[in-house]
Amino acid sequence: MDAEGKLLSRWPRLIVALVLAGSARGALEAQETETFVRVVPGNRVQLVNAGGQTIREIYRSPAWHAADAEPEPGGPRVALLEWKRTPRSQESELVVLGRSGRVENRPARNVQRYVWCGAGCLAYITGRYREGMDGFVPDSLHHLDLATGASSAVAGIPYPVELHWAGFDSALYARTRVLVQGAGVLRYDPRTRTLTPTTLKSVKLSPTGRYHIYRPPLSDSLLVLRTADNREVSLEKLRRGADPIGWAGGSSDLLLAVKHEPREAGSTSGMPSVVVGDMNPALTYLLYDVERGRVTRSVRGRRTTWNGPRHQTLIEADSGLRVLH
């Protein structure tokens, strides 16, 4: 085969390579420009694009306290909880904002936990505030369609206390205080409105659903279990040099961990203190691939309070805000 023939024979492979490279580059650019949100002192709600670095304030809550701001995945909205004090307790309200900061909806009161369940969809737990335990007395779980304004209670989930939206199977997972058919975690499919008991130990599922994080009662241990059979995944290699914190978010099963650092003079512990916020110390954060059992990336910087639509971690490094992925 002459030189021209060899070149032509390579075209299919070159095209595939270019397409894959373009897809990867497009995914990276999408991650770097996704909108993150946070609430800062003064009940001010701010937005930032990880790539643009420009922080924009969109809303100042008139409430006594505002917290738990989350951006809508694939949509233009932001949700948060606003709290007000009463003579006897504290009352909360779910608030939905547009990206301009205009209040679009106040769909429910006494909301204690909520999650976005896709674009235009919210799921939330109502209950009364109470100190201790989970911080509230749970009432019921609701599913809200923002397009129609229709909200419905999900029957068959007694005393829900924790929620997780799993994009990999478009389902809602709820942890309850009491067992239902022997299960402490239930799966709810909003499309079919079916409720199914699971064998999960917690709702902290990985992005693909192949694993979930479990913290045994009265223990600080973080265990990673295989969802299929609840078998523990060994993290011995990772623990030799770092402490796992939780899932890093995004679309891959990556654990976020903080690297062990030399003990400072006069310190009683060799473990770094992981504090989230603008004033926390710079630490080395690792991404650990659970499936392959190896560290894929390390970044030194400060872990921020910004929340992303896919629960990614935003690090303030010397080069600016960077998404860990």
pLDDT in tens, 100-118: 999 999 999 999 999 999 9
* pLDDT given at position 262: 76
Domain 36-198 listed as CATH 2.130.10.10: yes
- Is residue 10 scored above 80 in pLDDT? no
- How is residue 114 written in tokens? 């909520």
Per residue in 248-273, pLDDT tens?
Answer: 999 999 999 999 987 555 544 445 55
Do residues 198 and 180 lie in contact, with contact meaning Cβ atoms separated by under 8 Å?
no
SS3 of residue 257 by DSSP: strand
| Integer Cα distance of 226 and 250 in angstroms | 19
Determine the distance from the C-alpha atom of residue 37 to the mean position of all C-alpha atoms in its chain, rounded to a whole number: 12
Count of other CB atoms within 10 angstroms of residue 301: 19
Q: Closest Cα to residue 254, out of 215, 227, 216, 294?
A: 294
Residue 136 CB burial class (10 angstroms; 0-12, 13-18, ≥19):
buried
In eight-state DSSP terms, residue 263 is P
Q: List C-alpha distances in Å: 162 to 37, 69, 235.
A: 21, 17, 25
Tally of CA atoms within 13 A in the half-sphere of 254 that contains its CB: 21
* Residue type (1 letter), 67: A
Residue spans of the domains in the chain: they are: 36-198, 236-325
Task: Report percent pLDDT > 90 for the chain.
Answer: 67
pLDDT band at 175 (very low <50, low <70, confident <90, very high): very high
* pLDDT given at position 7: 38
* Residue type (1 letter), 246: G
Do residues 136 and 130 lie in contact, with contact meaning Cβ atoms separated by under 8 Å?
yes
- Is residue 282 scored above 60 in pLDDT? yes
| Integer Cα distance of 75 and 95 in angstroms | 16
* pLDDT given at position 308: 93
Per residue in 44-66, pLDDT tens?
Answer: 999 998 776 789 999 999 999 99
- Is residue 21 scored above 60 in pLDDT? no
**Paired strand residues for 324:** 313
pLDDT band at 34 (very low <50, low <70, confident <90, very high): confident
Sign, CA torsion 317/274/72/197: positive
Determine the distance from the C-alpha atom of residue 173 to the mean position of all C-alpha atoms in its chain, rounded to a whole number: 14
Do residues 212 and 206 lie in contact, with contact meaning Cβ atoms separated by under 8 Å?
yes
* pLDDT given at position 14: 36
Q: What is the pTM of this model?
A: 0.84
* pLDDT given at position 189: 96
* pLDDT given at position 16: 34
Phi, psi of 97 (to 5 degrees): -110, 155
Taking the CA atoms of the chain, what radius of gyration do you get in angstroms?
22
pLDDT band at 298 (very low <50, low <70, confident <90, very high): very high
**Paired strand residues for 309:** none
